[in-house]
C-alpha cells in the first residue's frame, strides 16, 4: 500500500477555502416542495438544477467499474478534471508539473493558464517512458505527473511496470489519462486505486462511448482528492441533458462493446492496408482508435486528403513524429474512401 500525504499536497488557499453551498447541496431529499433555489416552478423537464454531485449516474458507473462513488468525480469532459487538479494542487509560480513529450496538449495549456511551470521529458525513440530522465526531473515541488496511456498521438501504451515504478517512487499525484483504454490490449490501472493513494485515473465518454458531444469525463482517485475537486468545481458542472443521455448509454453497454470490436477490426484492416503503400514509411502499432502514420511528404498527403474532404491530423511538427499524420479509425465506408483516395495518388 502506497501512502500519500494528500493533505500536504493541497494548496493552502484551497484548504482554507469556504466553498459555495448550493440549495441542492443543503437539501438532498426528494418529493419536497422546492422553494429553495429560485427556479421556475413550471415543469419543463429541465426547470430544476441538476444534482451537483450526480449521485445516480455515479452509482451506475460504480456498479460497472467496481469503484465507490466517493472515489469518482464527473466533469465537463476530462478537461475539467485536468484543470481542477492543477488548480487544487499547484501553487502558481512555485509548484511544477511533469509530463512527457509528445502527448495530449491540454495538460500544458491548463498549466500555462494557471501559470504553473510545466516540464516535459521526451519519450524514447520506441515511444516508451524515459524513466531515468523522468526521475531526474522530479523535484520536491513536483505535485502532478501527467501520463497518457495509450498515449495521444503516439498510440502506444506505456509499460505497466514503468507506471507502477513511478507510482511507488513519486510522492505527488500521478494522473494517468486513460481516454483510449477501451481500445487497448493493456488493462486499466483502475484496479490499482486501492493500492496507490497517489494514483488518479482519467476516463471519458468521448471516445468508445460515442458521446464526445455531451462532454462527460470521469476522474477516479482517493476520496480526499475527489473531495477537494468537488469543493472547487462549479456547483452544477454537469447538466441534466448530459446526465439523461449518459444514463441511456449506460443501459446499452452492448452497443459500446460492439463499436469497440468494429473499431478494433477496422484498425487492423486499415493498418495492414496502409503499410502496403510505397509512400507510407511506417504505421505504428496502435492501442487506440487512431493510427500514427509516417509518410514521405505529410503536407502533400494532408492536402490531397483535404481536397477530397477527408480531414486527418497533421502531427508532423510534433516531437518524434516527424512526417506523421494521425488518422482516426472511421466507419468501414470512411476507411475505404481513405484507402481509395490514397490509391488514386499512387
Q: Which residues bind ligand PLP (CB under 6 A)?
A: 77-79, 104, 148, 152, 177, 179, 204, 206-207, 212, 217
By beta carbon distance, the residue nearest ligand PLP is: 77
Q: Give the residue from 55, 48, 52 showing the smallest Cα distance to 32.
A: 48
Q: How far is the CB of 141 from ligand PLP (least distance, A)?
A: 25
Shortest distance, CB of residue 123 to ligand PLP, whole angstroms?
A: 14
Nearer of residues 212 and 300 to ligand PLP, judged by Cβ: 212
Q: How many residues does the chain have?
A: 346
Least spacing, CB of residue 58 vs ligand PLP, in Å: 16
Q: Which is nearer to ligand PLP, 4 or 289 (CB)?
A: 289
| Nearest-approach distance from CB 178 to ligand PLP, in angstroms | 8
φ and ψ at residue 202, rounded to 5 degrees = -105, 135
DSSP one-letter code for 237: -
Please identify, using beta-carbon distances, which residue of 206 and 316 lies nearer to ligand PLP: 206
Q: What is the Cα–Cα distance from 11 to 308, expressed in whole angstroms?
A: 51
Contact present, 47 and 35 (Cβ < 8 Å)? no
With contact defined as beta carbons under 8 Å apart, do 298 and 324 qualify?
Answer: yes
User: Is the CB of 142 or the CB of 155 nearer to ligand PLP?
Assistant: 155
- Map grid coordinates 490514397 to a residue: 342
* Torsion angle (degrees, nearest 10) of CA 107, 108, 114, 119: 110
Q: Which residues of 103-139 are buried (b: 16+ CB within 10 A; e: fewer)?
A: bbebbbebbeebebbbbbbebeeebbbbbeebeebbe
**In this complex, which beta carbon is closest to ligand PLP, that of residue 6 or of residue 325?**
325
CB of 212 vs ligand PLP, minimal distance in Å: 6
H or E segment to which residue 230 belongs: helix 223-232
Shorter beta-carbon distance to ligand PLP: residue 24 or 87: 87
Provide, rounded to whole angstroms, the least separation between the CB of residue 278 and ligand PLP. 30
Amino acid at each position: 500500500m502506497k501512502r500519500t500525504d494528500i493533505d500536504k499536497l493541497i494548496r493552502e488557499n484551497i484548504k482554507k477555502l469556504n466553498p459555495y453551498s448550493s440549495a441542492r447541496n443543503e437539501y438532498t431529499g426528494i418529493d419536497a416542495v422546492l422553494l429553495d433555489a429560485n427556479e421556475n416552478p413550471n415543469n419543463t423537464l429541465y426547470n430544476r438544477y441538476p444534482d451537483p454531485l450526480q449521485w445516480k449516474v455515479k452509482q451506475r458507473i460504480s456498479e460497472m467499474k467496481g469503484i465507490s462513488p466517493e472515489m469518482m468525480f464527473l466533469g465537463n469532459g476530462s478537461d475539467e478534471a485536468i484543470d481542477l487538479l492543477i488548480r487544487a494542487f499547484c501553487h502558481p509560480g512555485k509548484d511544477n508539473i511533469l509530463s512527457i513529450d509528445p502527448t495530449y496538449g491540454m495538460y500544458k495549456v491548463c498549466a500555462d493558464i494557471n501559470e504553473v511551470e510545466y516540464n516535459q521529458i521526451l519519450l524514447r525513440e520506441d515511444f516508451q517512458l524515459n524513466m531515468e530522465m523522468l526521475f531526474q526531473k522530479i523535484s520536491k515541488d513536483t505535485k502532478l505527473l501527467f501520463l497518457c496511456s495509450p498515449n495521444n498521438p503516439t498510440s502506444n501504451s506505456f509499460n505497466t511496470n514503468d507506471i507502477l515504478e513511478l507510482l511507488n517512487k513519486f510522492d505527488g499525484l500521478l494522473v494517468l489519462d486513460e481516454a483510449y483504454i477501451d481500445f487497448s490490449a493493456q488493462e486499466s490501472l483502475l484496479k490499482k486505486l486501492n493500492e496507490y493513494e497517489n494514483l488518479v485515473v482519467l476516463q471519458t465518454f468521448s471516445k468508445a462511448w460515442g458521446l464526445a458531444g455531451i462532454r462527460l469525463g470521469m476522474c477516479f482517485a482517493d476520496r480526499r482528492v475527489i473531495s477537494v475537486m468537488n469543493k472547487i468545481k462549479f456547483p452544477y458542472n454537469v447538466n441534466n441533458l448530459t446526465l439523461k443521455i449518459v444514463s441511456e448509454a449506460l443501459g446499452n453497454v452492448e452497443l459500446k462493446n460492439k463499436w469497440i470490436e468494429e473499431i478494433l477490426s477496422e484498425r487492423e484492416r486499415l493498418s495492414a492496408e496502409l503499410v502496403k503503400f510505397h509512400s507510407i514509411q511506417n504505421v505504428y502499432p496502435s492501442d487506440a482508435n487512431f493510427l500514427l502514420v509516417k509518410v514521405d511528404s505529410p503536407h502533400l498527403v494532408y492536402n490531397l486528403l483535404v481536397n477530397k474532404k477527408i480531414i486527418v491530423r497533421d502531427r508532423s511538427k510534433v516531437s518524434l513524429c516527424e512526417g506523421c499524420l494521425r488518422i482516426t479509425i472511421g466507419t468501414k465506408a470512411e476507411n475505404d474512401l481513405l484507402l481509395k483516395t490514397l490509391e488514386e495518388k499512387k
